[in-house]
């Protein structure tokens, strides 16, 4: 099996004022730096208002910074939006696209997510492309079908193991304290990797990091991160506490 370096990613969502956000970033940076040679990559995705300052705070620690969304265009008349080039310019090396909260709150379709991911690659960012089924879709037995469609529709041309990360986030597991069983997670992750073969070929698909997201916490991270096709986590609530975020990272195999 191709060795994939785990990625522990924190999605702060719409949380963090300067005081608490910068303190959190500083604490995470301090721990990663103190650890020295880590076996995992670490990423924090603060709200846009804090990206530049978080970037300065974590500079030299090895902690990467990412945006939570980007526009598909480079610039122009798009009030309130931020382009991938702007994120790169502000110090980001990653951007999350297609999070279920964007798909739901902002009506983002697979085509929109694909265009955003393509813009991210063009700007030199690593795109963290989020997919996942709703509870109704899982109950209807459509989990694999839904994730297949989202992979087919959201992964842009030119994606590789180096510039793309997939985050499987079952919508019903986000912020609920509920998670699929380990067997269910592994089934979907292996399925996703197989679907990626059609997009990027077998060699690249074997190297793409597929993260699990949805109520990952210190208490369940070890078993989730030990699954063969789980290559890290996209963590919401638990990434807002340095102790929890760090404890999850320490569960990497
Ligand atoms: P929680 O970890 O809070 O469930 O959020 C997961 C998520 O949506 C990360 O993008």
Residues 45-68: tens digit of each pLDDT = 999 999 999 999 999 999 999 999
Q: What is the pLDDT of residues 168-194, one digit of tens each?
A: 999 999 999 999 999 999 999 999 999
| Total domains, the chain | 1
* pLDDT value for 1: 45
The pair of structure tokens assigned to 87 is 């994120």
Has residue 87 been placed in a domain?
yes
Instruction: Confirm whether 146 is domain-assigned.
Output: yes
Asked whether residue 3 is assigned to any structural domain, the reply reads no
Is residue 78 annotated as a catalytic residue, yes or no? no
72 contacts 146 by C-beta, under 8 angstroms:
no
Return the pLDDT at 177. 96
In 3D, which of 35, 26, 10 has the Cα closest to residue 216? Answer: 10
How far does CA 30 lie from the centroid of its chain?
22
237 lines ligand 1 (CB under 6 A): yes
Instruction: Let me know: does 130 contact 98? Beta carbons within 8 Å.
Output: yes
Active-site residue identified among 108, 169, 189, 195: 169
Given 99, 108, 133, 189, the catalytic residue: 99
Report whether residue 207 contacts ligand 1, using a CB cutoff of 6 Å: no
Q: Render 47-83 in DSSP notation, one character per residue.
A: -GGGHHHHHHHHTTTTEEEEES--BSSSSSS-TT--B
Per-residue pLDDT 10s for the chain (253 aa) are 458 999 999 999 999 999 999 999 999 999 999 998 889 999 999 999 999 999 999 999 999 999 999 999 999 999 999 999 999 999 999 999 999 999 999 999 999 999 999 999 999 999 999 999 999 999 999 999 999 999 999 999 999 999 999 999 999 999 999 999 999 999 999 999 999 999 999 999 999 999 999 999 999 999 999 999 999 999 999 999 999 999 999 999 9
Active-site residue flag, 106 = no
Handedness of CA 214, 153, 94, 71 (dihedral sign): negative
Count the residues in the chain.
253
Position 128 scores a pLDDT of 99
Confidence (pTM): 0.98
Provide the β-strand partners of residue 168: 131, 212
pLDDT (tens digit, 9 = 90+) per residue, 63-88? 999 999 999 999 999 999 999 999 99
Decide if 26 is inside a domain. yes
174 CA: nearest ligand 1 atom: 4
Name residue, tokens 């951007």: 95
Alpha-carbon distance of 124 to 81, in angstroms, equals 18
Q: Is residue 164 part of a domain?
A: yes
4 within a domain of the structure (yes/no): no
* Closest atom of ligand 1 to CA, residue 99: 10
Going by CA atoms, what residue is nearest to atom 5 of ligand 1?
236
Q: Is the CB of 43 under 6 A from ligand 1?
A: no
> Which residue's alpha carbon is at the smallest distance from atom 7 of ligand 1?
236
Record the tokens describing residue 140, joined without a space. 């209807």
Task: For residues 118 and 114, give the distance between their C-alpha atoms in angstroms, rounded to a whole number.
Answer: 6
* Residue spans of beta strands (DSSP E) within 62-203: 63-67, 94-97, 126-131, 164-168
Which residue range forms the structural domain that includes residue 227? Answer: 10-32+40-71+81-249
User: Of ligand 1's atoms, which has the minimum distance to the CA of residue 101?
Assistant: 8
pLDDT, position 97? 98
> In this structure, what CATH number is given to the domain that contains residue 25?
3.20.20.70
Is 50 inside a domain boundary?
yes
- CA 45, CA 47: separation in Å to the nearest integer? 7
In a domain, 86, yes or no: yes
Ligand 1 and 170: CB distance under 6 A: no
């Amino acid at each position: 099996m191709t060795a994939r370096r785990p990625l522990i990613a924190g999605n702060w969502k719409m949380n963090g004022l300067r005081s608490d956000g910068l303190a959190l970033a500083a604490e995470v940076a301090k721990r990663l730096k103190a650890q020295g040679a880590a076996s995992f990559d670490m990423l924090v995705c603060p709200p846009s208002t804090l990206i530049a300052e978080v970037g300065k705070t974590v500079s030299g620690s090895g902690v990467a910074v990412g945006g939570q969304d980007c526009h598909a265009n480079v610039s122009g008349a798009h009030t309130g939006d931020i382009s991938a080039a702007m994120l790169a310019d502000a110090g980001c090396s990653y951007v999350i696209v297609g999070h279920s909260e964007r798909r739901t709150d902002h009506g983002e379709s697979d085509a929109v997510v694909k265009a955003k991911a393509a813009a991210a690659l063009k700007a030199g960012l690593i795109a963290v492309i989020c997919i996942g089924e709703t509870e109704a879709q899982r109950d209807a037995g459509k989990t694999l079908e839904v994730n297949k469609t989202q992979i087919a529709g959201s992964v842009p041309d030119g994606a590789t193991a180096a510039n793309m990360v997939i985050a499987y986030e079952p919508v019903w597991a986000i912020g609920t304290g509920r998670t699929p069983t380990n067997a269910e997670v592994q089934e979907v992750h292996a399925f996703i990797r197989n679907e990626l073969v059609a997009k990027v070929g077998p060699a690249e698909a074997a190297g793409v990091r597929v993260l699990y997201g949805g109520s990952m916490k210190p208490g369940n991270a070890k078993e989730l991160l030990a699954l063969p096709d789980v290559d890290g986590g996209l963590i919401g609530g638990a990434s807002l506490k340095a102790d929890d975020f760090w404890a999850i990272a320490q569960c990497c195999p």
